[in-house]
Structure formats: C-alpha cells, structure tokens
C-alpha cells in the first residue's frame, strides 16, 4: 500500500467518480481504476460499490477513509515542517475566501505576497465562509480568509484580522431615508433583503434583531453582499451591509440600538502544521496597517 494508491482512493471517495479523481490527480482513468483494484486486492475487500455510472463507499471503504486521510495529512505535515528549514518559500498554498473579502480585503496583500514569493503557487477558491471553514477542517484547504464563525468550531483555530462594522441601509428614495430617528421596530413594517440564513453574517444580524423581538419581512435572500447592495439601491428593501461598502447608491440608517459588527480573519486546522507559505502570508496580514490582531484557540485545542 503506497501513498499514491491512498491518494487515489481518497480522491475517488471524495469525488464519487473515477473520471473526476483522474482529472484531479492528472492521471488516466484506467490508471486510477488499477490502483483501486490493487488496493482492494491487498485488503481483500471491495472498497466501492459500482452501480452503473455511480459509485459509493462500501463498509470497508468507509472504515478506511479516515485512516487514509490521516496518513496523507501526516505526510503533508512532515513535508511542511521540513519546508520551513528550506529557502526560498515555495509550494502550493490553498486558500478559501468569500467573494466580498476577496474583492475588498485581499488584493493589496496578495499582490505584495505574490511579488515577493513568486515560487508560491496560490490556489484561491471563492466560496461562502461557512464552506471554507468546513474545507479547512476536512483538510482540503490550508487557510480560510473568512467571516469568522460567531460560535466556536472544534479544532478550528482563528485569527481576527479585521473588525467589520455593519449598518442598516435603505435606498435614498426609501421612506425611512427621510427620517432622522428610526426605531428598530419600524423596520418590521418594510420588506428586507438579507444574507442567506446559512451564513455567519445572517446569524450575527438575526441575533441582534431577536434582541428587539424584530421579525423582518424577508423578500429576498442571497449570499452575495454586492447583490444585496444592488437590491437595496433599486428599492427592493432594507438590508444590513458592511460600512465599508457604503456609497451614494444606498442610505445608512443610524440606529444606535442596532449597532452590529462581524469579525473577519484567518482560520486553519489546529492539528496541521502550517506551510512556510501560509505562515509568511499570515505575517503579511498582521503587518498590514489597520489590522486587528487576536489569535484564539477553539474547543479541542
């Protein structure tokens, strides 16, 4: 049983497809199928049920999966630990980040990093912060630059990089835009467009609204803050956006009782050794002007 065979098994299990696994491994499908067949012969048990074009893990496959993932992760950690002793900083750095952070927070830091460390292969994936955190925990991403979860996640280590104040906004033509003193309860009388319920940002907003027993009339929900801003601007409802996004297309409602803030930062698996590239990038963020620094360990640390 060699590492390439375990890697093939892991890719097939995660992709649920021999062809997709072959693409990710840059191998032919017959070569991947042969490795799985050899592994099944060695273990004397079938690892996948093949039903037409669909495949699924057998009981033996499900039992092997966490062990295979752990072995490959240990090897990768060892390689990272050794890479810290070598120069220059190089290798692949997989990062997951949200579209908002990728557009508004990362460009200047990543530009400087890429110029200084050209041998680092930046592998950037744009996704919801919640998905990025799970990918880090699963070991498919090394770093997440995300909205930090409002509640601790076991084995996820976080570092706050930015505080992100949020404000209630409406269209400049909205009836509430003409008011100087708006009470939280008045928002319930008007339609809202809010972040999707699955997002950390929605949970932060919901917790604050619930303190005022406010049930918003949600007309539309989306994961993309830029889309929410557009929906507010054309008058489809009020919303809550980062203060950093404000411009003349939306009007902020200063409601002291509804002051909200989310934290943006880096996440990584506490049980994994960060690569030299990841460590250097984190230092880049810490040295960047205006950053709020605080590292925390989550349960299980």
pTM here is 0.68
CATH number of the domain residue 32 falls in: 1.10.10.10
Is residue 35 situated within a structural domain?
yes
- Are 289 and 247 in the same domain? no
| φ, ψ (nearest 5 deg) of residue 6 | -65, -40
The structural domain count of the chain equals: 3
Tell whether 279 and 255 lie within a shared domain. no
- The range of the structural domain enclosing residue 48 comes to 3-82
Residue 291 pLDDT class (50, 70, 90 cuts): low
Q: Is residue 299 over pLDDT 60?
A: no
Q: Are residues 174 and 251 in the same domain?
A: yes
- Identify whether residues 218 and 157 lie together within a single domain: no
- Same domain? 292 vs 240: no
| Percentage of the chain exceeding pLDDT 70 | 92
- Cβ–Cβ contacts within 10 Å for residue 25, how many? 18
Structure confidence by residue, pLDDT tens digits, 88-128: 788 889 999 999 999 989 999 999 999 989 999 999 999 99
- Of 82, 103, 129, the residue at which a domain comes to its end is 82
- What is the CATH classification number for the domain harbouring 157? 3.40.190.10
CA 88 – CA 45 distance, rounded (Å): 44
Kindly state whether residues 154 and 272 are assigned to the same domain. yes
Averaged over 32-41, what is the pLDDT?
A: 90
Judgement on whether residues 247 and 126 belong to the same structural domain of the protein: no
Statement to judge: residues 171 and 257 lie in one domain: yes
Q: Based on the domain organization, do 123 and 258 belong to the same domain? A: no
Per the CB < 8 A criterion, the answer to whether 94 and 141 are in contact is yes
Residue 301 inside a domain? The answer is no
The CATH number of residue 232's host domain is: 3.40.190.290
């Amino acid at each position: 049983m060699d590492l390439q065979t375990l890697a093939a098994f892991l890719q097939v299990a995660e992709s649920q497809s021999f062809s997709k696994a072959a693409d990710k491994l840059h191998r032919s499908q017959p070569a991947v199928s042969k490795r799985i067949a050899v592994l099944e012969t060695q273990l004397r048990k079938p690892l996948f049920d093949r039903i037409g074009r669909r495949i699924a893990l057998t009981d033996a496959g499900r039992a092997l999966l966490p062990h295979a993932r752990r072995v490959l992760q240990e090897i990768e950690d060892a390689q990272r630990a050794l890479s810290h002793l070598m120069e220059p900083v190089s290798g692949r750095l997989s990062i997951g980040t949200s579209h908002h952070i990728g557009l508004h927070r990362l460009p200047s830091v990543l530009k400087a990093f890429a110029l200084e460390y050209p041998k680092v292969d930046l592998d950037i994936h744009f996704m919801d912060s919640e998905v990025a955190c799970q990918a880090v925990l699963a070991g498919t991403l090394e770093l997440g630059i995300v909205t930090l979860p409002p509640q601790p996640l076991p084995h996820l280590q976080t570092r706050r990089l930015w505080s992100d104040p949020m404000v209630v906004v409406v269209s400049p033509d909205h009836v509430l835009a003409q008011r100087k003193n708006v009470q939280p309860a008045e928002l319930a009388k008007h339609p809202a467009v809010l972040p999707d319920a699955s997002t950390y940002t929605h949970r932060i907003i919901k917790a604050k609204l619930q303190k005022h027993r406010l049930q918003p009339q949600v007309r539309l929900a989306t994961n993309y803050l830029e889309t929410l801003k557009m929906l507010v601007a054309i008058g489809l409802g009020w919303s809550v956006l980062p203060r950093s996004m404000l411009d003349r297309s939306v009007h902020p409602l200063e409601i002291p009782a509804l002051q909200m803030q989310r934290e943006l930062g880096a996440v990584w698996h506490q049980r994994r050794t960060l690569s030299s590239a990841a460590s250097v990038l984190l230092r880049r963020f810490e040295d960047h002007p205006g950053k709020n620094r605080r590292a925390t360990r989550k349960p299980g640390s």
